[in-house]
Amino acid sequence: MTSTADVSTATAGAGAGPLWLARVRLGAGGPLARVRVADGRITGIWAEEDAGRQLASGEPVFDLAGRTVLPGLWDAHVHLGEWAAARTRLDVSGLDSARAVAEAVRERAQEALDDGVLTGFGFRDGLWPDAPHKDVLDAVVPHVPVALVSQDLHTAWLNSACLALIGRVGHPSGLLREHECLEALAALPEAPVETVDRRIEEACRAAAARGVTGIIDFQYGDTVTEWARRSAAGPLPVRVDAAVYPSYLDAAIERGLRTGSPVDEGAGVVRVGPLKLFTDGSLNTRTALCRDPYPGLGDTPEAHGIQETGTEELVALMRRAAAHGIEPAVHAIGDHANTVALDAFEAVRCRGRIEHAQLLSAADLPRFAALGVTAGVQPRHATDDRDIADRHWAGRTDRAFAYGDLLAAGARLEFGSDAPVSPLDPWLGIASAVGRTGDERPAWHPEQRVPLAAALAASARGRRLVRVGDPADLVVTDVDPREADLTTLRAMPVFATMLGGRWTHGPA
């Protein structure tokens, strides 16, 4: 507990008026406390029995009846536009073959379609007995354009009508991967801006209902400008760090944008995020860049995956961005890709992040801490991809999703979902990190478990405690996470969420 003397050290910030949170627990089994919030910050914390004499006349009090208060949660890797759209699309994530997906498409084709295109999301063909092909879709829906996006966002599966719509008549398979996938999806008809913004608003409010107070948005496009516009339209339910992509880097530099600088005219909710760069593809598409070849593909260069950005170009982009205060966030999934990314950080000597870090060489584990590189990881991927990893990374999974080893090596972890790759729900990631299983099976590589306290901190950008002077970004849970089993942790009941002293979920 802090004393009244601590109040004088609190810094003021923008936010709602004074509010007292009464009868809260700031730790497992700890005594009841009372928290004062003012001007968007925590200005005092007292033991409940000592708070009465500190209560100013007329300041509202909200009784939380012994619920647990934790630092607000962040999702450190989201593609929010894709996630918002995926919430409206045909969900094919649980289907186990190309034919099963085609049947689901046939049923959905009877309904009205947005923009005349039947869109679906979530297929995972890495373990399928049959191959996705345009002919499979043409057989059930020959005339309606169909566009299906894989769970990892690295593959698009289109029928002939959709290929014709985007000018790809004659494509041999309708299965487009990596850059070809991104180009195809960008060519599809776009929803009106009003529709996109409405969906994003709904997705943000759903995230706030799960305790989320901030995200790093890696949606492709002029993300900084888009979020500044949304913030100008009204208060946002979450803080946003908006990523910059290489095609927008020169414009960002000309505007004087720097990672961490606010871009929403004083509100301080939208900030410039990192520069997103790619070294490789993904596990499910077998394009993650690995030292060993994928099984059954021989030992050709292609059998090891792909390098999306050449090493010299990667270093040059990182160096240019860092010189102007924009920190890199480098996508790296395979072990070779992670070495390439870490080598680039060593050459440039700048702060930044590696996104995913799914397969690591033992020699690279200590380099994260030594170079000051944050590992932006998605624990739900470990439980979702365990079977695919067992097949395609056979004999190497002891160093796959190696969060325990990263922690032991001193690395800073920040958890995300990669939504829509997995749902934008931090509790699912926390439970996956703690339990290393997402179903009834035993833990997968339990030696890589993360202690609950570390998992909560990694989901809150390192914040472990509710402290005087911190922003009043808080989550209130009905159950103390430290007393919850895995099932309860995944479905954690969130009573309320506060952002800068205003409720974004729960009490009005």
Give residue 27's pLDDT: 77
Is 63 within the bounds of a domain? yes
pLDDT in tens, 171-206: 999 999 998 998 999 899 988 999 999 999 999 999
Q: Which two tokens stand for residue 394?
A: 């056979």
Where is the domain boundary, 368, 384, 413? 413
Q: Which two tokens stand for residue 135?
A: 């002919």
The CATH code of the domain that includes 353 is: 3.20.20.140
Q: Burial, 81: exposed, middle or buried (Cβ in 10 Å; 0-12, 13-18, 19+)?
A: buried
Give residue 53's pLDDT: 54
- Residue 10 shares a structural domain with residue 136: no
Q: Shortest CA distance to 69 belongs to which of 26, 23, 30, 37? A: 26
Residue 109's CB is within 10 A of a number of other CB atoms, namely 15
Bridge partner list, 405: none
Task: Kindly report the pTM of this predicted structure.
Answer: 0.91
For 111, 156, 206, the CA distances from 199, given in Å and listed in that order, are 20, 22, 11
Number of domains in the chain: 3
Is 1 within the bounds of a domain? yes
Helix (H, G, I), strand (E, B) or coil at 114: helix
- Residue 51 shares a structural domain with residue 94: no
Q: Write the Ramachandran bin of 315: left for phi over 0, alpha for psi from -120 to 50, otherwise beta.
A: alpha
- Residue 43 shares a structural domain with residue 94: no
- Residue 89 shares a structural domain with residue 112: yes
Is 121 within the bounds of a domain? yes
- Residue 285 shares a structural domain with residue 403: yes
- Residue 90 shares a structural domain with residue 50: no
Q: Which two tokens stand for residue 508?
A: 């009005």
- Residue 304 shares a structural domain with residue 409: yes
Give residue 251's pLDDT: 97
Angle at CA 265, nearest 5°, toward 263 and 267? Answer: 90
Residue 485: give the domain boundaries.
1-69+466-508
- Residue 386 shares a structural domain with residue 486: no
Distance CA 74, CA 160 (A): 40
End-to-end CA distance of the chain: 27
> What are the phi and psi torsion angles at 419 (to 5°)?
-50, 135
Give residue 482's pLDDT: 94
Is 338 within the bounds of a domain? yes
pLDDT in tens, 302-349: 999 999 999 999 999 999 999 999 999 999 999 999 999 999 999 999
Give residue 104's pLDDT: 97
Give residue 56's pLDDT: 58
- Residue 93 shares a structural domain with residue 176: yes
Is 325 within the bounds of a domain? yes
Q: Shortest CA distance to 230 belongs to which of 184, 193, 253, 197? A: 197
pLDDT in tens, 428-483: 999 999 999 999 999 999 999 999 999 999 999 999 999 999 999 999 999 999 99
Instruction: Identify the segments of the chain with pLDDT beneath 70.
Output: 1-16, 51-57, 112-115, 508
DSSP code, position 132: -
Give residue 215's pLDDT: 98
The CATH code of the domain that includes 127 is: 3.10.310.70
H helices present in 233-355, as ranges = 249-254, 311-323, 335-348
Is 429 within the bounds of a domain? no
DSSP code, position 331: E
Q: Which two tokens stand for residue 399?
A: 């160093």
- Listed in sequence order, the residues at least 6 apart from 89 whose beta carbon sits closer than 8 Å to its beta carbon are 119, 120, 121, 149
How many C-alpha atoms does 45 have within 13 Å on its Cβ side? 20
Q: Which two tokens stand for residue 27?
A: 């730790």
The CATH code of the domain that includes 508 is: 2.30.40.10
Distance CA 142, CA 344 (A): 47
List of E strands, 154-209:
155-158, 175-177
Q: Which two tokens stand for residue 77?
A: 């890797």
Where is the domain boundary, 413, 443, 475? 413
Residue type, 485: D
